[in-house]
Structure 1
Amino acid sequence: MLYDSRTTAGRALSASLGHLRDSDPLVLGLPRGGVPVAAAVAQALDAELDVIVVRKLGVPWQPELAMGALGEDDVRVLNTDVLAQTGVSPSALADVEAAERRELRRRVLLLRGDRPRISPRDRVVLIVDDGMATGATAVAACRVARAQLAARLIVAVPVSSAEAITRLEAEADEVICPLVPLQLNGVGGAYRDFHQLTDHEVTTALGT
């Protein structure tokens, strides 16, 4: 099974999300690749659409390993077990955090501008990405949404590894994914068109 594009993947994903329509979900896309998927989902569910801008705090010598995450409104989540296991010093953590906080502000300004964030507080929140290989970014997004007091948290992606699904099941109330191949060699392998999105494409999908 191959998706033609992120938009068609979002439409296909929506077929598994009809049970959420009556809950008035807030659909949050993960920039960049998750935004056109989320836009198609929001359109199908007649739901509000926004982005959830998160920055993973990666271990300096193993950036894919998240020692925490940053989100809007000064949300800061630390993975104390990873910090203990890796022995990252407070100064090294502070350096990574400063750099990621700058990038977070840049992305928020780019993607949202003066438009206020739609609060996830007390809402059913649907976090959407174009796929999950390790699930690290989705985990960061879940923890930020939890910190922002989402009432119920669902992660939905068109394709994922089995390992990432298991990882997210410990973070979200529900994980929905129609395509879980026996071996995922990369999210892009599930798409005919998986080009690197431009900032303009992302803001267009958001309607900004």
Structure 2
Amino acid sequence: MYFEDRVDAGRRLAELLLEHGYSGENTLVMGLPRGGVPVAYEVASALGTPLDVWVVRKVGAPGFQELGLGAVAEGGIAYLNRELMEEVGATEEEVRDTVRRKSAEVNERVARYRQGAPAPALEGKVVILVDDGIATGGTFRAAIQALRLRHPGRIVLAVPVAASQALAELRPLVDDAVCVFPTPALYAIGQWYSDFHQVPDDDVVDLLEQARLNLRPRWPGPPIEPAHV
């Protein structure tokens, strides 16, 4: 195993981003829920930058949901791999139904994670988009397409581990890509972690709140009146 858990992966990814010169200035770290958020939290903490999420849901193949045919992202963007759909025999109707269901899930999770707050302003900012790994890259494609509509200054893809081919296909879509371990053979992201347990929604909400508290100014209290003797 290359990473103990997502915390370890996030800290090692943060070290690499710092080596590449990234910092908190005009920067926002965005995690892909749910597994990308613990990684993104460590990155945001190390860089001293705000943390937010960009919600994406994978569109799985009928009968084999782990195989991603594409993804639906916050902002109404859907990416579908037509070649893979044809290869597994997925019909347009089947996939359309899945996209509709996943779009509803995206909206539900946006409301849950942001607690009614609006999406962050991205115009002109450096957006570091983080997940716990990349296998096929469908979720990143959908997220990148949606983020481009918000006119960020730069989009930086950042992951602990990624399939080399998927990473090469994604590089032209972003301004920079930072990966601790690109590998030609990646069958399952979890194989690169000793602990790869599922991240509950409550943990995502807690990490986002903790990140906000960490960046909240600690104003000094009222002045202490001198004691009269």
TM range (shorter): 0.7 to 0.9
SS of the residue 2:185 aligns to: coil
Q: Deviations over 1:27-64 (max 9, x none)?
A: 00000000000000000000010000123456768862
Partner of 1:153: 155
What is the total number of aligned residue pairs between the two structures? 202
Partner of 1:12: 12
8 A contact 2:37–2:204 mirrored in 1:
yes
Residue 114 of structure 1, CA deviation: 1.6
Taking structure 2 as the reference length, the TM-score comes to: 0.78
Partner of 2:173: 171
Deviates more, 1:109-118 or 1:169-178: 109-118
Residue 6 of structure 1, CA deviation: 0.4
- After superposition, the Cα gap between the structure-2 partners of 1:41 and 1:174, relative to the gap in structure 1 and judged at 3 Å, is same
Letter in 2 for 1:196: Q
Partner of 2:72: 69
Q: Is there any run of 5+ residues in structure 2 with no aligned partner, and where?
A: 211-229
8 A contact 1:130–1:158 mirrored in 2:
yes
SS of the residue 1:159 aligns to: strand
Letter in 2 for 1:202: V
- In the alignment, the residues of structure 2 paired with residue 181 and residue 93 of structure 1 have an alpha-carbon distance, to the nearest angstrom, of 30
Partner of 2:43: 41
- In the alignment, the residues of structure 2 paired with residue 108 and residue 29 of structure 1 have an alpha-carbon distance, to the nearest angstrom, of 13
Computing the radius of gyration from Cα coordinates, the structure with the larger value is: 2
Deviates more, 1:51-60 or 1:112-121: 51-60
Letter in 2 for 1:149: H
Q: Deviations over 1:89-117 (max 9, x none)?
A: 5x666533421221111111221112222
Residue 182 of structure 1, CA deviation: 4.0
8 A contact 1:56–1:140 mirrored in 2:
no
Q: Is there any run of 5+ residues in structure 1 with no aligned partner, and where?
A: none
- In the alignment, the residues of structure 1 paired with residue 193 and residue 73 of structure 2 have an alpha-carbon distance, to the nearest angstrom, of 29
